[in-house]
Structure 1
Amino acid sequence: MNPLDRTARTAGILFLLTFVSAITGAALYAPLLSDPGYVTGPGADTRILFGAVCELVLIIANIGTAVVLYPVLRRYSPAAAVGYIAARIMECALIAVGILCVLTVVSLRQTGDAATYLPVAQALVALHGWTFLLGPGFVVGIGNGLLLGFLMYRSRLVPRPMALFGLVGGPLMSLSGIAVLFGAYEQMSVPSALATMPEIVWEVFLGVYLTAIGFRIKRGVGAQEAAPVPPSMTHRSG
C-alpha cells in the first residue's frame, strides 16, 4: 500500500470512528442530560463515565482526521488546510468543556448533600447544551463542511458532486446553529435535522469512501506522481 492510500484509509477510519464515538457518547449521556433532577437521584454514574471516555475518543479521532489529511491538503491551499486543523481543535475544545460539565455533575451527585447543588448541576447541563450547539452544531459546519469541502472539491481527491455536500451542507449547518441560538427552533427539531442532513451525508461518505477506495489518484505509480498537482504549483515555460 503506497503512502497516499495509507493516509486516505487512516483518515476514513478516523471519520467513521468519530461517528461511532459521538453517537455512543450521546446515548450514554442520556440519563444525565434528560433528567433535571439527576444529581439528587440514584444516578447512572458508570454509564456517564463511559460516555465521557467515548467523547475523549471522539476528540482524538477529530483532531486525527485533520492531522492525517494535512500533508495532502496543504498542497492545494495551505491556508484552508491550517484553518481546517484550527476548526477541529476549536470543536474539540468545546467538546472537552462539555465533558467537564457532565463529570462535574457526577461529582456533585456523589457528595453528601447533592440536593444543595441541584441549581449548579442544572446550570452545568445547560452549559453542556451550549457547547454541543457551538461545537458540533456550528464549528463543524465551518471546518468539516466548508473548509474540507472546498479542499476536496479543489483537489478532486473525492468525487466533486459529493464535495458539494460539504460546501453547501457545512454553511447550512452553521446557519441552523445560529437560528437555534436565537430561538428560531429547537436544536432537536425537524428543521434542525433537515439542515444538518447534507453535512451528515458528506461526513459519512468521506468515512466510507476513503476507507474503501482511498483518494482518486492514478494507480501503479509513485506517490509524487500519484498526487494531483494543484493549479498554484503549475507554471508555464518559455
Structure 2
Amino acid sequence: MGSEKLKTRFAGLFMIVGMAAGIFSVAPAIDSRHYLTEAAAHFNQVIVGAVFQFIMALSYLGVALLLYPIIRRFSGSLAIGFLSFRIIATNLVIFGTILLLLILALSNEFVSNSPENASNFQALGNALKITRDYINHVFMVLILCIGNFILYILLIRSKLIPLWLSIWGLVGTLLSAVASVLILFHIVDVITSEYLILNMPTAILELVLGMWLIVVGFNKKVLQKYYTRKRK
C-alpha cells in the first residue's frame, strides 16, 4: 500500500508537470506567419519550447507507467489499452518535437544564406509546419483522448476516485477531441480562443486530478477490498 501511494503521488505530480510543460512548450515564433525569419530570430524561445515539449512527453508516459500496475488489478484490458495509447501519444509528441527543431534549422538556413529560391524554403517550411500542427494538435490529442477515455471508464467502474472527477474527465476528453476534429476540418485554427475554450476543462482537470492524487490518492477502501479478496 505504501509503494502504491507513492506511485499515485508521483503520477499526480507528473500530471501537473505535463500540463505546465505543455503551456511552456508553445513557441509563438513557430506559429507566426513569418516563421521562417521569426524562428531564427527567437532561437532560444524555440529551443525552450522543444525542451518543454520533450518534458511533456516524458510526463505523459510517466503517468501511464506509474498508474498501470495499480489500475490493471481492476481491469487488465482497459489498463493495457490506456498504457498503449499513452505510449503512442508519447511517440507522437517526440516526433512533433523533432519537427519543431527541423523548422528551426530551416529558418536558420534561410536567414543565414538569404537564398534566391525562397519559394522552395517556403514550401518545405509550410509542409513541416502543417505536419507539426496535425501531429501536435490533431492526431496526438485524439490518441491521448482515446487513452484518457479508457482511463476514466476504468476509474468509474473501479471507484478509485470520486465519480464527479471521472465524469469531468470524460466530458473534458470529449471536448478536447472535438477541438482537434474542428482543426482537422479547418473549422477552427490552432491556438485560437475557440480551441483554447474547448481544451480548458481538460487543462483544469489535469491540475485538479493531479492535486487529488498527490493529497488524497486513490480510494483506500476500494484498494483495501481488493487486497482482502486477494488474500482469500
User: Shorter chain as normaliser: what TM range?
Assistant: 0.7 to 0.9
Q: Which amino acid aligns with 1:10?
A: F
Partner of 1:127: 131
* Residues 1:62 and 2:60 are matched in the alignment: yes
Cα 1:228/1:143, change in 2 over 3 Å? farther
Partner of 2:226: 229
Kept in 2, the 8 Å contact 1:139–1:174? The answer is no
Kept in 2, the 8 Å contact 1:166–1:202? The answer is yes
| 1:187 Cα deviation from its structure 2 partner | 4.0
| 1:66 Cα deviation from its structure 2 partner | 0.3
C-alpha RMSD of the superposition: 2.6
CA distance in 2 between partners of 1:10 and 1:228 (Å) = 23
What stretches of structure 1 move > 6 A for 4+ residues in a row? none
Kept in 2, the 8 Å contact 1:95–1:135? The answer is no
- CA deviations on 1:200-232 (whole Å, 9 max, x unpaired) are 2332221110012211204xxxxxx944439xx
Q: Which amino acid aligns with 2:216?
A: I
* Residues 1:141 and 2:145 are matched in the alignment: yes
User: Taking structure 2 as the reference length, what is the TM-score of the superposition?
Assistant: 0.85
Partner of 2:17: 17
Q: Which amino acid aligns with 1:47?
A: Q
Cα 1:44/1:140, change in 2 over 3 Å? same
CA distance in 1 between partners of 2:137 and 2:38 (Å) = 26
CA distance in 2 between partners of 1:134 and 1:41 (Å) = 23
Kept in 2, the 8 Å contact 1:92–1:135? The answer is no
Cα 1:113/1:166, change in 2 over 3 Å? same
CA distance in 1 between partners of 2:39 and 2:4 (Å) = 52
- CA deviations on 1:95-133 (whole Å, 9 max, x unpaired) are 122111111122123334354323212321221111122
Cα 1:41/1:114, change in 2 over 3 Å? farther
1:47-86 correspondence runs (5 A):
47-86=45-84
CA distance in 2 between partners of 1:229 and 1:20 (Å) = 34
User: Taking structure 1 as the reference length, what is the TM-score of the superposition?
Assistant: 0.83
Instruction: Give ranges in structure 1 of 5+ residues lacking alignment.
Output: 219-224
Kept in 2, the 8 Å contact 1:83–1:143? The answer is yes
Kept in 2, the 8 Å contact 1:9–1:214? The answer is yes
Partner of 2:5: 5
Cα 1:206/1:181, change in 2 over 3 Å? same
- SS, match of residue 72 in structure 1: helix
Match for 2:198 among 167, 189, 195? 195
| 1:13 Cα deviation from its structure 2 partner | 0.5
Match for 1:175 among 172, 175, 178? 178
CA distance in 2 between partners of 1:41 and 1:54 (Å) = 16
| 1:37 Cα deviation from its structure 2 partner | 4.1
Cα 1:228/1:136, change in 2 over 3 Å? farther
Instruction: Give ranges in structure 2 of 5+ residues lacking alignment.
Output: none
Structure with more of its chain in helix, by fraction: 2
* Residues 1:186 and 2:205 are matched in the alignment: no
Match for 1:92 among 90, 93, 100? 90
Partner of 1:222: none
Partner of 1:207: 210
- SS, match of residue 220 in structure 2: coil
> What's the % identity of the aligned pairs?
23
